[in-house]
Amino acid sequence: MTATPPPRTAADADAFFDAIDNAPLTDRFWLAVGLLMLVSVFDYFDFFIVGFVISVVGPAWQLTYAQTSIVLLSAGLGSIVGALVLGPISDRFGRKPMLIGAVALCAISSGAVGFIADGSWQLFAVLRFLAGFGISGATLASITIAVEITPTRVRTMLTSAMIVPVSFGILAAAALSSTMLPVIGWRGLAMIGFVPLVLLIPCMFFVPESVRWLVVRGRAREAHAVAAHQLRQPALPPAPAKLDSRVDASRWSDIYADPRRFWFVVLMWVGFSAASYGVYLWGPTILSLVLGVTPSEAAGMFVMVGLAGIAGRIAFSVVPQFIGRRRAGQLIGFGIALALGAAAFSSDALVGALPLLLICLIVGAVFFDGGAVNLGPMPTELFPARLAARGTGLGQAANGAGRIIGPLVLALIAGANNVVTPAATKSAVVPGFLFLAACGLVVGLAFTFLGIETHGRRLALEDPAADGKS
């Protein structure tokens, strides 16, 4: 007997995706989500550990400023290139293979730093470029999988919450470096970068391929089998056959088919990242300069800023579930602008026992750090499944560009030639913070005039407008 062919129209496919959206969340779903979160934590640990390694090898190898800058910036450049290159590959060959390959590349490149010969800063830079390239692929794959496997009814909250633990990877890098560096040395610290390799086998077995990607690639029976296994519901309606004939001919230029979406993603991420990275890079020095405290005391104060950022991430995992991603994005952007604009004119004034400048930064961190969880999943949600990884990659590339633009502009404002850690002078405080506030304003205006609401809307399979069910 000939098998019944799968449905071939978007309308016929509604039954399949309705069943997925309405199904209860199973232990298999939570296991996959947990593994994706661990991937993010470990990969960001690898990404940030280099700052502590370079603090040791830089003086020991007598590296020049230019050489140190190349090593530090190579990972950021690798992440931008990776986002642009690996997005199309993920759309073509799948989210799961990209996740496995990218995690392996990031871990091996990070751990291999521990074996390089003394003085080999060029090889160090190459390995950091590859690590950045790998973390970009792991990030775009994990975000895309998470967004595409999560039911619409809880997607906004859960996919945002998955980004919260990234902060713990950064904190772990700092904590482990402070405790273990004197014991195991910089080589031992670098070789901890191999640890994410332990996640490869669990991810192979317990992280599913995206059902939506399987559908757009025409692999209907496999999509049905994956969904039925994950949901423990073998009686699901049939998965639809390939609905979008353009999937095999998708190009990077297709991401610009809707300029509004393209520029929305670029502006929101460049503005957000420039503000966030600028504050975290420049802020401790400014506190020390303006308040007349030692660098160690300023670092202690900045712990409160970091904790406020974590609190903000938790808050903005919940808030968009009730007011939507677009309104939350406006709140984030304009919150950054107000907090950092106030910081520009706070000087050394006190509010009780706390400096007003510190209060402004603590309040601002809720937005310029916490807001990342709202922005992170949006590019994936904005583009149809055939372009979803490209959309995520576009966001990651814009994020990386903002991390370069922020320090570069601050260096120009300060009249310094150091774009890695711009020199802070009292004359640069007001224009510097006003620039960072303007970056937040760009985010708020992007959400206001270009923003598209994705909360509560089913991900598009073929319609770039993404405002229907499928």
pLDDT in tens, 58-82: 888 988 877 887 887 888 899 999 9
115-157 pLDDT tens trace: 999 999 999 999 999 999 999 999 999 999 999 999 999 999 9
pLDDT at 6 over 60: no
**How much is the pTM?**
0.88
CATH architecture of the domain covering 10-241: Up-down Bundle (1.20)
pLDDT at 467: 41
- Helix, strand, coil percentages (3-state) for the chain, rounded to 5, are 75, 0, 20
pLDDT at 320 over 50: yes
Distances (CA, A) of 416 to 54, 110, 402, 439: 21, 31, 19, 20
How far is the C-alpha of 132 from the C-alpha of 137, rounded, in Å?
A: 9
pLDDT at 448: 98
How far is the C-alpha of 250 from the C-alpha of 264, rounded, in Å?
A: 21
pLDDT at 466: 39
* Mean of pLDDT over the chain: 86
Q: Say whether 253-449 and 10-241 share the same fold.
A: yes
Per domain, the residue ranges of the chain are 10-241, 253-449
How far is the C-alpha of 289 from the C-alpha of 277, rounded, in Å?
A: 19
Q: Coil, strand, or helix at residue 465?
A: coil
Give the helix ranges, DSSP H, for 113-165.
121-149, 152-161
173-198 pLDDT tens trace: 777 777 777 888 889 988 988 989 99
What DSSP element (H or E) covers 282? helix 259-291
Q: Coil, strand, or helix at residue 355?
A: strand
**What number does CATH give the domain 253-449?**
1.20.1250.20
